[in-house]
Structure 1
Amino acid sequence: MRPNIFKFATTELSQDAFICYILDYYEDGFKERYPFEHRFARVFIDKILEKLEIKNLQINSLEVKKQHMSIDILLIINKSIYIIIEDKTFTSERENQMSGYREKVIKSYGVTEENVYCIYYKTGDESYTYISRIQEGKNTKTLLREEIIEIFGNYEGSNIIFEDYLINLKDIQNERENFKHRDLRRETLTWSEIIGFYNELDKAFVQLKSEGVMPKEIEFNWHYTANQNGGFMCYFFQNVLDFEEYGYYLQIESSSKHDKSIYENLKFVFKVWSDKKDISLLYKGLDILNESYGDTIRKPSRFARGSWMTQAIIKDCLVIDEMGTLNVYETALKMVKWLKSLRFLKDRLKQLV
């Protein structure tokens, strides 16, 4: 396999430069000499406009500005339409980042907010919940890795930089989706595969909510959590049981060490949050959980005091088929049953203090 520049050019600045490089081919002057690149640049712009639901726009002029007013990429169409492209690889948007850029454009160019749009262009991974929040912004849409791969499938030329970009994105996608082929009777999941599993869980929980199986008020999300043991990727369910000074939620915790069984590297746990870091809640609540769940749960090796504390580990949280591969939908369905069953203990658990 030949070298791929995007295995080395992994920063957002590199991706900014590549996107601007594509858009430079939009000019009519490149139509004859670089027809494939010119045609794709026009497809790329058309896809952005389609995503933003900007219809019937005749483009007479296109300006591409990189790192202008701290904005990754600013497109100015016909000197009247302003499109902010917030480009991310493996980081996330800072709080209100795009809103701040929108205000800068409105103030600097003297335009109305109706003519300012935002694209969150993400080639890394982001939780469904976070993406949904981003899309709540005015005139704001997302372009995610799978969509970007589909767009680049329209390129018909042989430009090695274009090819490298698409190959690299496909490699990332394949790394994420490889968990679907792991025999978990003999293997465990890599870090990339755990992220891929979480991506698929997002889709499953969205489906279960639409089917009325999962309570709509229970929120789900995932992110990386740092700790002294190397950190882990956690997938957590909020709004399960909330009382005045403490509450319950469930969480999947993935170890950064992948030399154990899948049930050691992906733990589904009962968590207690406590404003007062009250460890006595763990002892009192565990008795109630043991009465209800028996040997389907186990106590962690030790209780640790904190704002977010592990009370019990669910022994069998995954649905693995006869080939040893994960059935994501059935696993999600099983987790929803645990969420619902914990809610049935509300009256008993709210009396721990």
Structure 2
Amino acid sequence: MKETQTPNIFKLATKELTQDAFFAWLLQWADQKYRGVNTNLNHTAQDFVRKLIGQTDTYAITTVEVGRQRQNIDVWAEINCEYFISIEDKTNTGRHSNQLARYKELVESEFGGKPHKLTFVYLKTGNESLSSLDLIKRQEGYTIIDRRTVLAILDARPVNNDIFNDFRSYLARLQELTDSCSNFEAVKTDESAAQGFYLNLQKLLPEWTDWNYVSNPTGGFWGFWYHWVQINDFKLYIQIENKIKVDLQVKIKIEGRAPNIDYLNQLCSQLGELASRYGLLIAKPKKFRLGNTSTLAIAVNALPSTTDEDLDMSRILTNLQNLQQVLDEYALISLPTNSNL
């Protein structure tokens, strides 16, 4: 018999403030005084603290003081009067307004002269571009704690607590949706799967890539972009656009205002000739537009799927690499100027 799915409060309360409250609650359970109340929950909470501060399993945790919104910091914790943890907690949003540097400066100013070891954590349970997370780690000096890391801790042992188990189930479902990214239909219809597809591409492509949601008057899309090449006064680059439940396309974009539509038309045709040598079919957009950034061409067959609707990642990578080669070759033959355009 199929197990009945019970109501989960975290499917209804999806705001970051709710998540702030859960992690503050979990940190409170790390205090040694709660070991006899719920041993497994106490052990799990202590594992979470050790992960945040980079300590081993042998580090003893005795006292934990926890709070929220201290100088606008989402969650903070003081461990054994030795560590101070500042947590910027995110679900589906990203950093903004120089907030990470500002919070770090405030904490360092407050604890200047005190013996505390300061730890700054960017805790992200939603999906985020690996390039963005890398910047947060390298430039901002924050430790990244992602959903997989949290789940590994929450799944380490059985815990008899409804709040805990509801949150664990909620995160597990988000991970399951993200991991469905091997299915073509899921990628086209579910935002988490679409993000998972982009995350996989970032791991497989050996150059800088980025992705995010792009809002525009036509409804917006999840975009993935990389591989800029210089063409005279312009740059060409590859962009994948996923309009959930509408369309999924690989495009060649042009950055820089073209002189006229005829220029775009001829440039698209020349790229099409090069692409055909690699088995890629290049089509013109429905309408060329003159602007700072516009669509130059569409690689129609760049995202193949197998007969069972699973994305063929091997062929997709080959097609993208071939498309990169097309741009690279065109950049070479267009130097120093493409006088016939």
TM-score range normalised by the length of the shorter chain? 0.7 to 0.9
Question: What is the SS of the residue equivalent to 1:195?
Answer: helix
The C-alpha deviation readout for 1:178-202, integer Å capped at 9, x for no partner, is 2324569xx9543332122112212
- Answer yes or no: is 1:221 the counterpart of 2:210: yes
2:182 corresponds to which residue?
180
Please name the residue that 2:172 is paired with: 170
Alignment RMSD, CA only?
2.6
Alignment match, 2:204: 204
Specify the code of the residue in structure 2 equivalent to 1:91.
T
CA shift in 2, pair 1:56/1:101, >3 Å? farther
Partner of 2:293: 308
Do residues 48 (structure 1) and 52 (structure 2) align? yes
TM-superposed CA distance for 1:112, in Å, is: 8.0
User: Which stretch shifts more, 219-228 or 40-49?
Assistant: 40-49
Q: Is the alpha carbon distance of 1:301 and 1:231 closer, same or farther for their aligned partners in structure 2, counting shifts above 3 Å?
A: same
Structure 2 counterpart of 1:302, which letter? K
Paired residues of 2:211 and 2:222 also in contact (CA < 8 A): yes
Structure 1 alignment gaps of length 5 or more: 210-215, 259-264
1:54–1:228 distance in 2 versus 1, CA, 3 Å: same
Query: Residue 153 of structure 2 aligns with which residue?
Result: 151
Amino acid at match of 2:268: L
- 1:117–1:139: 8 Å Cα contact kept in structure 2? no
**What is the one-letter code of the residue matched to 1:233?**
W
Asked whether the 8 Å contact 2:189–2:245 carries over to 1, the reply is no
Q: Distance in 2 between matches of 1:144 and 1:75?
A: 18
Q: Does 1:76 align with 2:58?
A: no
Offset of 1:132 from its aligned partner?
1.1
TM-fit CA distance, 1:292: 2.0
Shift, 1:76, TM fit: 2.1
Alignment partners' CA distance in 2, 1:349 and 1:107: 54
Aligned-partner Cα distance in 2 for 1:289–1:138: 40
- Give me the whole-angstrom Cα distance separating, in 2, the residues matched to 1:253 and 1:175: 19
Provide the rounded CA distance (Å) in 1 between the counterparts of 2:130 and 2:116: 26
Q: Give distance in 2, aligned partners of 1:44 and 1:60.
A: 14
2:130 and 2:267 map into 1 onto residues whose CA distance is 31
- Matched residue type, 1:10: T
CA 1:20–1:8: 2 relative to 1, 3 Å: same
Q: 2:282 — aligned with what? A: 297
Deviation of 1:306 after TM superposition, in Å, equals: 1.7
Match of 1:234 among 200, 223, 236: 223
CA deviations 1:234-285 (Å, max 9, x no partner) are 11114x2135642100101112343xxxxxx2111110001x4644442342
2:163 is matched with which residue?
Answer: 161
Q: Which amino acid aligns with 1:242?
A: Q
The counterpart of 1:331, out of the listed 311, 316, 322, is 316
Aligned to 1:21: 25
Number of residue equivalences = 330
Identity %: 26
> Which amino acid in the other structure matches residue 273 of structure 1?
E
- Secondary structure of 1:344's counterpart equals helix
- Does the C-alpha gap of structure 1 residues 288 and 181 become closer, same or farther in structure 2, counting only changes over 3 Å? closer
Alignment of 1:341 onto 2:329: no
Please list the CA deviations of residues 53-90 of structure 1 after superposition, one character each: whole Å capped at 9, or x if unmatched. Answer: 68975545432121101111122234342221110001
Alignment map for 1:1-20 (pairs within 5 Å): 1-20=5-24
SS of equivalent to 2:138: coil
TM-score, normalised to structure 1, is 0.85
What amino acid sits opposite 2:166 in the alignment? D
Q: Distance in 1 between matches of 2:97 and 2:116?
A: 22
Q: CA deviation at 1:117?
A: 2.0
Q: 1:247 aligns with which of 218, 235, 242?
A: 235
Q: Which amino acid aligns with 2:53?
A: L
Aligned equivalent of 1:62, options 57, 61, 64: 64
Which amino acid is 2:191 matched to? W
- In the TM superposition, what whole-angstrom CA distance separates every residue of 1:111-143 from its partner, at most 9, and x where no partner exists? 489932211111111011111111104642211
Q: Write the distance in 2 (CA, Å) between the matches of 1:291 and 1:26.
A: 64
Name the CA shift for 1:121/1:178 in 2 (closer, same or farther; >3 Å).
same
Output the amino acid matched with 1:193.
A
98, 107, 116: which one aligns with 2:118? 116
- Do the aligned partners of 1:102 and 1:116 also contact (CA within 8 Å) in 2? no
| Corresponding residue for residue 212 of structure 1 | none
Letter aligned with residue 346 of structure 1: A
Structure 2 counterpart of 1:272: 254
> Pick from 35, 46, 50: which aligns with 2:39?
35
**In 2 relative to 1, CA 139–271 (structure 1 residues): closer, same or farther, beyond 3 Å?**
closer
Q: Residues 175, 347 of structure 1: CA spacing in aligned structure 2 closer, same or farther, 3 A cutoff?
A: same
Alpha carbons 1:284, 1:352 under 8 Å: kept: no
